[in-house]
Structure 1
Amino acid sequence: MEITEMYVCFGNSFERNWLRTDYNVIGFGLIGWLAPSSIPAINGNSLSGLFISSIGEELSHFPTPPALTSQFWLWMVLWHLGLFLCLTFGQIGFKGRTEEYF
């Protein structure tokens, strides 16, 4: 066991690359979120479309930041929450399958 790869912490070994990132998860997670978020389900608009159009509206008056009551914040939070959930569950599922947890 090399010191550069493993750390000993209270008698247990700690793997240095604990996150074990994989670019497949990032790519498939992004595609996996863009596909359902692009379905027109909110009054005939998609979540991605509403988020991107709200970005355009806010950029039209650029030096002024978005107001707290702007719809931009709602679409931004929902879109990113869905993306991060998709990436998190994708990482759990992909690594769980490759490391034979399930």
Structure 2
Amino acid sequence: MSKLKPKSQSLPVINPNAAGIDIGGRFHVVAVPPDRSDKSVQTFKAFTGDIHNMARWLTKCRITTVAMESTGVLKNLKRQAERMGLTLQAKEECVS
């Protein structure tokens, strides 16, 4: 019996200069397109200095738009990203 190989499906790229951030209370996980960095997924702590480092890394990776998902407060991250000239697409969810 032969094994069926799943067909590779890929979604179209809408914005090649976009990154995604999963925002957590202690750390944030950031993903950029694989051609922008040797390590395209990085983790940054949630402290102000680390957020500054994350914004600098995103700028170095030529990112202009950031999509964020969070179950908490985005204020510090949004403020720093806006200072760096990044466009934000944030989705906040309520946790009960």
TM-score per shorter chain, which class? under 0.3
Q: Normalising by structure 1, what TM-score?
A: 0.22
Q: Which has the larger radius of gyration?
A: 1
Q: Normalising by structure 2, what TM-score?
A: 0.23
